Amino acid sequence: MTHQPLRWYHRLFIGLHYLIPQHALAAVMYRLTRTRWQPFKDLMIRLVIRIYRVDMDQALEPDPRAYPTFNSFFTRALRPEARPPAAEPDAVLSPADGTLSQAGRIVDGRLFQAKGQEYSLDELLAGDADWTSHFQEGTFYTVYLSPRDYHRVHMPLRGTIKGMIHVPGKLFSVNDISVQLVPRLFTRNERVVCLFEGEAGPMAVILVGAIFVGSMETVWAGEVTPSPPAAGIRTWRYEQGEAVNLGKGEEMGRFNMGSTVILLFPAGAVTQDTGLAAGDPVQVGQRIGRVRAERRRGDAEPPKRNIPATP
């Protein structure tokens, strides 16, 4: 991937991240994006549409004024036909709209972030040794969501939720400059690690927070962050009777503001599409890889637990 050339002001930008009260700013943004005062929320929505050239024709509700808050606009649903899933039964689907920041193999427990920057699989998964062992020498995908993108996250393959880990942390920006300049960026930022057993075996879908992104949620647990400051790492384990089964392409969570999704698969479970390279745009439902034939665990979709749909 060809990264943006670094300038002195980029280093200044990152340096300010170390000084500003990241979580306090996220808390302020949380409140602002949920205000129902029409003049303010309409102005914010118009500015984002204009600055980032948001395509409202794909939205289920194309009228910007119809959204009760800025956050409801930011997490807007799309028309069902806007993101048709890849038809191949073995397709691994992109979990989000955005840019494929990186993809490749996990080598010696390390994931590639950018030239000169790597981070640890064990640290990414908050030291959970059992799940870390599943992904040694496996495959990863990193998808970056910009403010213009659709901000709901969907399942790359069908799966059953087995566990979830909320890891408190920093809220550095996750754009291209930050990826180049902030060591271990994705293991320093706050994140929600969702662990599944799926058609290709174990699978992780990791929602990584960022500057102004103090709120992440899943369809089975609701809003996971923000959480009390002293809560520390929180872990959920789901037994058979509590399991939520989600189909391939089904919504599994969302960011309230933009950030990054990281996918993890075991060694030999999937192959990355050869025509896809770091820096390429991706969309929900697009094929980004294939499940190896010897790893597929049947074609039938599992019975789904009834989860109320959210518009």
Q: What residue ranges do the domains of the chain occupy?
A: 8-74, 85-295
Position 70 pLDDT exceeds 70:
yes
* Average pLDDT score over residue span 141-157: 93
Position 265 pLDDT exceeds 50:
yes
Entry pTM: 0.90
Q: What is the distance between the alpha carbons of residues 134 and 222, in angstroms, rounded to a whole number?
A: 27
Active site residue 259: yes
The CA angle 134-138-139, to the nearest 5 degrees, is 130
Of 90, 94, 97, 215, which is the active-site residue? 97
193, burial (CB in 10 Å: exposed 0-12, middle 13-18, buried 19+): buried
Position 261 pLDDT exceeds 80:
yes
Of 134, 151, 154, 166, which is the active-site residue? 154
What percent of the chain is predicted at pLDDT more than 70? Answer: 92
pLDDT of residue 214: 62
pLDDT of residue 1: 52
Active site residue 90: no
Of 101, 173, 215, 259, which is the active-site residue? 259
* Average pLDDT score over residue span 83-108: 94
Active site residue 63: no
* Average pLDDT score over residue span 159-183: 88
pLDDT of residue 300: 44
* Average pLDDT score over residue span 248-276: 91
